[in-house]
A and B are shown apart, each in its own frame.
Chain A
Amino acid sequence: MKKTPLIALSVFCLVLGACASTGNTTADDASMTSGVSANDTMDENTSASGQSTTQASGTTNTHDNHNTSGTTANTSGTTSGTTGHTGHTTSGTTGHTGHTTSGATATGNTTGNTTGTMSGTTNTTGTAGNTSNNWNNTSGTTGNTTGTMSGTTGTHAGHGNNLTGTTSVSGTSGTGTTGMTDNTATIAGSGTVSGNTTANTNDTTWNTQGTTGTATSGTMTSGTTNNNNNTTTTSGRNNTRATTTTTTTSGTRSNLNTNNNNTNNNNTGNTTGTMTSGSANADEDDDTTTTTTRTRMRKD
């Protein structure tokens, strides 16, 4: 009873030749097994190597070993994604019955696409950011400048970004992580100490802003003859009167009472000094100008 159907089928096949193999996997369970067996040779660990950039993407062919080909893989990066076993998708259709797995079955090569995304931390190369200086000379106060330094550096903070400013004596560190905070920044360049001097007096200016700057020279740019001695003293809060420079001004009288914020309005001539060097000091301090004439207010 049991052999009858087999015999009948064999006869049928011999007659019609309808059962010849084409080299493709037949759709029975046994042939599907040979196709899937390619998974056994897959290495679940995908190594990533390569150079820089932040994202890896590409197609991985699962020929024996999983090699992630693509444009990247950083040494410090990690590859996440589904590059292993479970990430395989077999292209084509693996039908359950009567279908073939394209290009896969007989050779045991299962072609699949592995998609993975390179994520993680890439090698960030910090860029010393824009360090902009905005020094505002306070007009009318000799040697007294207030300014703010703003700007951000990259992740290489504290590497002593050179700060090039257009001014001189002082400034307060602004926002951002500039080199100012560790006092390693330097101020270089030419700055201007401008202001008005007081006629017929020795005008002593204290600049206690946190810069140990040195006014090394002064040049009279305009004004009439003025034989006064004007003393500019700069000091930082943690420094004691860093440097004293005496500038003798002479020249042509001009600009009377112009651009003048001094308490004493008897100003003649402008004195211009040049800041040649100095190192930044993050201290915040007084940058007011003290003149020898004290403000007195009547309480009448």
Chain B
Amino acid sequence: MKRTPILALLLFLALQSHAADDTSVLLAKAWPAAGVAGLEDLGTGIGVVFTPDLSVKDNCRFFEALGFACFESADWLQVLSDIHAYNINHPGRRIRTLVLETHGTNGNGLKVQTGKKAEDDRSYISVAALQEMLEPVGVRYIILSACNSGRLLRPEIYRKLDPKNGDKLFLPANRGIIDATDDFDPKRTNSTVITPATSHIETTLVGSLSELAPATREALAAAAKKRNLELPKQFAVSEMLIQMLLRDPALQLRTGAHVEELSKEQTSPETSERIFRSFVAHLDGLAARRGTQTASAAAR
């Protein structure tokens, strides 16, 4: 009688540990450079897709300065086309992992849009269609940083979205809906879809460059200058991307499974702030390390 709760606890802890291992392994494969790269190469091999309404002006320049490939459009066809072009034109820095900073439409479709009015530009894509179109250009991992993204893998909409799902967030797709073709066989694809282990509302945070340490801003400015970029004043970054970068143990990821649950859970403002501060601290640390290395090299 007394052993049952203990066994249950042990089983729970074992499962948690296993999940953590899965997450670290997944991230080691999908974003290997995160732990070792310098500030300007932080995003090497990583592409980020922003829906315009979850971004800020010139947001991509911030990420490009950090070494990411960045895309922002309300038209999935445009995004896919740009990714194709990028991998063709940057054979040495090809995108292997794509992080989708988009809407999940309550798990009814990956949505990019300019706004929430019915007449705003907007398009949707199914997960299978993403795999089908991105695998040929070398994208191996697709990380869904969208709300309730586990629901996007439900068999009934995995290949083909249901435009009549009745969800009020599923606004008119005046830029179209992209579904997978009948020829697509998920068993044969080499691309892996990664989602959070549990359903919840994902959050994107807006920060200002002024929140970074002066040395970090200088390092970022130098990195931007190398790439002929002008840094924006603000940037938008998701909590999930930060957590992946920092290998936050609170982040649990998984592959190959869907969820039915529609969750309204969202992190608290305090938690958001803590996550954001850790991001700033990480960037500041990288910049400081870079400064130390530069000074050491100069001394030699």
Contacts and interface: CB of A to CB of B under 8 A. Distances in A.
Nearest to A287: B233
Nearest to A293: B269
Nearest to B149: A299
Interface in A108-160: none
A214 interface: no
Summarize A's interface: helix, strand, loop or mixed.
Answer: loop
A290 B54 contact: no
A240 B214 contact: yes
A182 interface: no
Contacts of B15: none
Contacts of B148: 300
Interface string B193-224: 00000000111111111110010010000000
Q: Dominant SS at the B interface? A: mixed
A294 B234 contact: no
A29 B206 CA distance: 100
B214 A237 contact: yes
A300 B205 contact: no
Given A293-B269, A300-B147, 14 more contacts: A238-B214, A240-B214, A285-B210, A286-B209, A294-B206, A294-B273, A295-B206, A296-B205, A296-B269, A297-B54, A297-B236, A299-B203, A300-B103, A300-B104
A288 interface: yes
Interface in B134-192: 145-148, 169
A240 B146 CA distance: 38
A299 B238 contact: yes
Interface string A188-208: 000000000000000000101
Nearest to B276: A294
Contacts, number: 69
A294 B53 CA distance: 16
Contacts of A286: 208-210, 233
A286 B231 CA distance: 10
B210 A298 contact: no
Contact of B201 (A238, A240, A285, A298): A298
Interface of B: 53-54, 101-106, 145-148, 169, 201-211, 214, 217, 233-234, 236, 238, 266, 269, 272-273, 276
Contacts of A240: 214
13 contacts: A206-B210, A287-B233, A288-B233, A290-B208, A293-B269, A295-B206, A296-B203, A299-B54, A299-B104, A300-B104, A300-B106, A300-B147, A300-B169
Interface residues of A, number: 18
A78 B205 CA distance: 68
B269 A294 contact: yes
B238 A290 contact: no
Interface of A: 206, 208, 237-238, 240, 285-288, 290, 293-300
Contacts of A297: 53-54, 203-206, 236
A296 B272 contact: yes
Contacts of A300: 103-106, 147-148, 169, 201
A299 B102 contact: yes
Contacts of B106: 300
B90 to A, nearest CB: 27
A208 B101 CA distance: 29
A300 B272 CA distance: 16
Contacts of B207: 294
Contact of B101 (A206, A238, A299): A299
A290 B280 CA distance: 15
Contact of B210 (A238, A290, A295): A290
A300 B210 CA distance: 29
B101 A294 contact: no
Contacts of B210: 206, 208, 285-286, 288, 290
A282 to B, nearest CB: 15
